[in-house]
Chains A and B, each alone.
Chain A
Amino acid sequence: MPGDTLITSENDTDIELDFAGVEDFQENHKREKHNGKRRNGDRQENKRENQRRKRSSKSVQGIREESQSKTERRERSRRRKGKAEHETSGHEGNKRERDQTRAKSTKSKKNIKNEKTRKLEGKEDGEAQEKSEKGKLKLVCTKNEEKIESGDQLKEKEKALGVKKKKKRRKKVVETSSEPETSEDGDDEEEVNNDGEVRPELLSPEELEKLKEAVDEKKKLIQSLRGKPWPMKQKLVTLRESQLFVEKYEGALGKGKGRKLYAYKVMMTKKWMKFQRDFENFKTACIPWEMKIKEIESHFGSSVASYFIFLRWMYGINMILFSLTFGLVMVPEVLQFLNLNCTFILFIALYIYFILQVRLILLCTFFEQALMGRPYGSIPRKTVPRAEEAGAMDFAVLWDFGGYAQYSVLFYGYYNNQRAIGWFKFRMPLSYFLVGVGTVAYSYMVVIRTMARNANESGIGDDNSFNFSWKMFTSWDYLIGNPETADNKFASITTSFKEAILEEQESRKDDNIHLTRFLRVLANFLVLCCLAGSGYLIYFVVRRSQKFALDGLENHTWWERNEVNMVMSLLGMFCPMLFDVISTLENYHPRVALQWQLGRIFALFLGNLYTFIIALMDAINLKRKEEKVVKYNITMWEATLYNGTGSENSTAPPITIHPADVPRGPCWETMVGQEFVRLIISDTMTTYITLLIGDFLRAVLVRFLNHCWCWDLEAGFPSYSEFDVSGNVLGLIFNQGMIWMGAFYAPCLPALNLLRLHVSMYLQCWAVMCCNVPQERVFKASGSNNFYMAMLLVILFLSTLPAIYTIVTIPPSFDCGPFSGKNRMFDVIQETLESDFPAWFSKVFSYASNPGLVLPFILLMVLAIYYLQSTSKSYKEANVELKKKLQMQNEENKKKNKQAALKAQMDLEEAKKSASQTAEHQRNNNDSVQRQEDDEEIDNKNQRMYHGRNPSPSVGNREPHFPVRDPGPRNAHNGNHGNPRYLPGFHQQSEPRMCRVPSLERH
Chain B
Amino acid sequence: MVSPAIALAFLPLLLTLIIRYRYYFVLFYRAVLVRIWKDCVTGLSREERAFQYVLTNSTPGDPDSILDAFDYWCSKVEFISNIGPKKGKILDRLLMEQSPLTVLELGAHCGYSTVRIARALPLGARLYSIEMDQGNAAIAEKIIRLAGFDDDTVELIVNPSDEVIPRLRSDYNLERLDFVFMDHWKKCYLPDLQLLEGYGLLGKGSMIVADNVLFPGAPKFLRYLRKCGLYEWKIHRATLEYSRGIRDGMAELIYQGIK
Contacts and interface: CB of A to CB of B under 8 A. Distances in A.
Interface in B2-24: 2-3, 5-6, 8-13, 15-16, 19-21, 24
Contacts of B3: 559-560, 563
A581 B219 CA distance: 27
Nearest to A570: B9
B214 interface: yes
B1 interface: yes
Nearest to A556: B3
A711 B216 contact: yes
Given A706-B219, A710-B216, A717 B16 contact: no
A578 B12 contact: yes
B15 A578 contact: yes
Contact of A577 (B1, B5, B13): B13
B6 A567 contact: yes
B12 A574 contact: yes
A133 B238 CA distance: 75
Which residue of B1, B6, B246 has the most chain A CB atoms within 10 A of its CB atom? B6
A717 B216 CA distance: 9
A575 interface: yes
Interface in B156-192: 186
Interface string A558-580: 01100100110011011101101
Contacts, number: 74
B217 interface: yes
B12 A571 contact: yes
Interface string B218-233: 1100000000000000
A603 to B, nearest CB: 14
B21 A563 contact: no
A578 B16 contact: yes
Contacts of B218: 712
Contact of B214 (A540, A541, A571, A716): A716
B15 A570 contact: no
B5 A717 contact: no
Nearest to B18: A581
A712 B9 contact: no
Contacts of B53: none
A859 interface: no
B214 A575 contact: no
Interface string A881-916: 000000000000000000000000000000000000
Contacts of B73: none
A686 to B, nearest CB: 11
A530 B216 CA distance: 34
Contact of A712 (B19, B24, B219): B219
Nearest to A566: B6
B25 to A, nearest CB: 11
A715 interface: yes
Contact of B6 (A559, A577, A581, A711): A559
Interface string A533-560: 0100100110010000000000001011
Contact of B5 (A541, A710, A712): A541
A714 interface: yes
A563 B9 CA distance: 11
Nearest to B187: A710
A714 B16 contact: no
Nearest to A567: B9
Contact of B217 (A530, A560, A563, A715): A715
Interface string A706-744: 100011101111000000000000000000000000000
Contacts of A560: 3
A711 B9 contact: no
B12 A530 contact: yes
Interface in A35-91: none
A560 B1 CA distance: 9
Interface in B193-223: 214-219
A711 B9 CA distance: 31
Given A559-B1, A581-B16, A581-B19, A570 B217 contact: no
Which residue of A559, A706, A711 has the most chain B CB atoms within 10 A of its CB atom? A711
Which residue of A560, A573, A717 has the most chain B CB atoms within 10 A of its CB atom? A717
Nearest to B216: A711
A560 B5 CA distance: 10
Contacts of B9: 537, 566-567, 570-571, 574
B241 to A, nearest CB: 15
Interface size classification for chain B: 20 to 34
Interface residues of A, number: 30
Given A537-B8, A566-B6, A578-B12, A717 B21 contact: yes
Contact of A711 (B5, B12, B15, B217): B217
A551 to B, nearest CB: 14
A167 B10 CA distance: 97
A324 B248 CA distance: 58
B16 A563 contact: no
A544 B217 contact: no
B219 A714 contact: yes
Contacts of B246: 716
A715 B218 CA distance: 10
A544 B219 contact: no
Which residue of A563, A581, A714 has the most chain B CB atoms within 10 A of its CB atom? A581
A140 to B, nearest CB: 41
Interface in A922-961: none
Which residue of B21, B24, B218, B219 has the most chain A CB atoms within 10 A of its CB atom? B219
Given A559-B2, A706-B219, A717 B12 contact: no
Interface in A489-510: none
A67 to B, nearest CB: 59
A570 B21 contact: no
A698 to B, nearest CB: 13
Which residue of A537, A575, A716 has the most chain B CB atoms within 10 A of its CB atom? A716
Nearest to B218: A712
B63 to A, nearest CB: 31
B227 to A, nearest CB: 17
Interface in A756-800: none
A623 B76 CA distance: 65
Contacts of B186: 711
Contacts of A573: 13
Interface in A278-305: none
A570 B219 contact: no
B62 to A, nearest CB: 35
A571 B8 CA distance: 9
B12 A577 contact: yes
A574 B13 CA distance: 5
Contact of B216 (A541, A571, A574, A712): A712
A571 B216 CA distance: 33
Contacts of B21: 717
B6 A563 contact: yes
B216 A716 contact: yes
Contact of A574 (B1, B5, B16, B20): B16
Interface string A578-600: 10111000000000000000000
B5 A537 contact: yes
Contacts of B6: 559, 563, 566-567, 570
Nearest to A582: B19
26 contacts: A544-B5, A560-B3, A563-B5, A566-B6, A566-B9, A567-B5, A567-B6, A570-B6, A570-B9, A571-B9, A571-B12, A574-B12, A574-B16, A578-B12, A578-B13, A578-B19, A581-B16, A706-B219, A712-B214, A712-B215, A712-B217, A712-B219, A715-B219, A716-B214, A716-B215, A716-B217
Interface of A: 530, 534, 537, 540-541, 544, 557, 559-560, 563, 566-567, 570-571, 573-575, 577-578, 580-582, 706, 710-712, 714-717
Interchain residue pairs A-B with the least CB separation, the first 4: A712-B217, A711-B216, A570-B9, A574-B12
Interface of B: 1-3, 5-6, 8-13, 15-16, 19-21, 24, 186, 214-219, 246
Given A574-B12, A574-B13, A716-B214, 8 more contacts: A530-B12, A540-B5, A563-B3, A563-B5, A566-B9, A567-B6, A573-B13, A574-B11
